[in-house]
Amino acid sequence: MTLKLETDRLLIRDWDEDDADAALEIFGSADVAPWLSPAIDKVPDAATMRLILQSWIEAQPNFVVPAGRWAITRRDDGEVVGALLIRLLPPYEEDLEIGWQLRPSAWGFGYATEASQALMAWAFSDGEVDELFAVARPANKRAIATARRIGMEWVGETDKYYDLNLQVYRIRASEFST
């Protein structure tokens, strides 16, 4: 399924292989990679990022809606500023995680909040999704602040996801409002 969501400032769209350099600014950043779940090393170069994007693009049609991975671009200049995802949390049976990653130069502009709210509205729109979760490492103050800004409530701390100690946040469809 191809997704295009627009907000006042942003476009949420499928990834393209030509996004490799821009995606590297996110997933190759020493300021971003340490916070990713599951834990991964920062992506070392554009060629590796291109391979990762290829795998995401190939996997996208196989995800069950609303799961997927998308680029966040600014509408005014088309610049990729971040990434969004919805995926199953381990043990990969029912709990859906929403996640956001921004390149450091895009921090502080409200892009993660704006894009996440649009994606949540879309995910909740058909009535099939009852709740979404976000997970963050306890020291990831930016992710925790974003989870709260988008209306998520803290529900506890666990190590059952990704073998990491994580804060868990949740929003139910009935609680969501833009």
Mean pLDDT of 75-90: 96
Q: Which H helix or E strand runs over 164?
A: none
- For residue 1, what pLDDT is reported? 64
- Within 71-140, where are the H helices? 111-124
pLDDT at 178 > cutoff 80: no
- 110, amino acid identity: G
- Within the chain, where are the H helices? 20-27, 46-59, 111-124, 141-149
* pTM: predicted TM-score of the whole model, two decimal places: 0.94
In terms of DSSP bridges, do strands 68-74 and 4-6 run parallel, antiparallel, or are they unpaired?
unpaired
Which tens digits make up the pLDDT trace of 68-80? Answer: 999 999 999 999 9
Quote the mean pLDDT of the chain. Answer: 94
Instruction: Tell me the C-alpha distance between 176 and 158, whole Å.
Output: 24
Which tens digits make up the pLDDT trace of 104-148? Answer: 999 999 999 999 999 999 999 988 999 999 999 999 999 999 999
